[in-house]
Amino acid sequence: MAKDTISCLSLDLGANLGWSKIQARLRPEITITVSDHGTVDLNKLTDNRMRLAYNNIYQRNRVKSMIYEETIIKLVNRLKYDCFITEDVFCHPNHISAFRALVLYMETLERVVNIEKQKRLFTIPPTLIKKHISDYGLADKAKVQEAILANKNIIIKNPEDMSEHEADSIACAWAFVHEFLVFSI
């Protein structure tokens, strides 16, 4: 790989869409700098839109999907990124409806990244992300956030404002660098 630094948009899909803008430096040692991060509350945005622009055609899930796609397009087009990363879809047996939403979110994200940016969407399994950031594949969100804040090779602008969803997107970027880029440098 010729470049020592790559820019990434990393996402944690869900009703609370966590995102982070990452610069990953690969040499002399792996370091990621998070220059911007945020969480988009899709439920709140959906409530607002349905209250302000009610119609009797769209159901709540359709409105939320439309808002999600608009948000993804804005995030993807915000800057020129070298790569796009997200946690892979998973199914928890007690949350089947959440799985359905994750699949739809993933499909929309992959379509936007593939078609609008002509780029691959990199997906990382959740247990692999947790293993890379905390050395334990079943770590909870609090442990992931603690591990990110304790990692001297992760620099975060405004870490005190970081939500657990933003932390998950940062952990995903960390795993991406180690899974996909370490061997190419």
Tens of pLDDT, residues 130-184: 998 887 656 677 888 899 999 999 999 999 999 999 999 999 999 999 988 765 5
Cα separation, 81 vs 103, whole angstroms: 23
What pLDDT, in 10s, does the model give residues 3-59?
789 999 999 999 999 999 999 998 888 999 999 999 999 999 999 999 998 788 889
Burial 35-58 (b: 16+ CB within 10 A, else e): eebbbbebeebbeebeeeeeeeee
Tell me the HSE value of 92 on the side-chain side, using a 13 A CA sphere. Answer: 8
pLDDT of 184: 55
Any idea what the Cα angle at residue 45 is, between residues 38 and 103, rounded to 5°? 75
Q: Is the pLDDT of residue 93 over 70?
A: yes
pLDDT of 119: 97
pLDDT band at 185 (very low <50, low <70, confident <90, very high): very low
pTM of the model: 0.91
Q: Is the pLDDT of residue 71 over 70?
A: yes
pLDDT of 183: 59
Winning range, highest mean pLDDT, from 96-105, 122-131, 136-145 = 122-131
Residues with Cβ within 8 Å of 28's Cβ and at least 6 positions away in sequence, in order, are none
- In this prediction, residues 71-97 reach a mean pLDDT of 90
Domains by residue range for the chain, with CATH: 5-184 (3.30.420.10)
